Amino acid sequence: MTQEIAKRLSAARKHSKLSQEEAASLLGISRQTLSNGKTAMGFPIAKR
């Protein structure tokens, strides 16, 4: 399941022509957290 979410998130980011840094900022997480989610090491969870 996590890999599917990571794939969809990556595709949406690329479709929107956002960098990982820009996408992470919009999600309220760090770029490293987004990158870890992309590699399925753990899905990023925003804390607001």
Please write the tens of the pLDDT for every residue from 1-48.
Answer: 477 888 888 899 999 999 999 999 998 989 988 887 765 555 555 554
Alpha-carbon torsion, ordered 7, 8, 13, 16, to 10 deg: 140
Residue 25, pLDDT score: 94
Q: 28 in a domain, yes or no?
A: yes
**Domain annotation covers residue 47:** no
- pLDDT of res. 18: 96
Query: Is residue 44 domain-resident?
Result: no
What is residue 22's predicted lDDT score, i.e. its pLDDT? 95
CB neighbour list of residue 43: distance below 8 Å, 6 or more residues apart: 2, 5, 6, 37
Residue 46 within a domain: no
Number of domains in the chain: 1
Residue 48 lies in a domain: no
Residue 43 included in any domain: no
Q: What is the DSSP letter of 41?
A: S
Q: What is the span of the domain harbouring residue 10? A: 2-38
- Tell me the whole-structure pTM to 2 decimals: 0.67
Residue 7 lies in a domain: yes
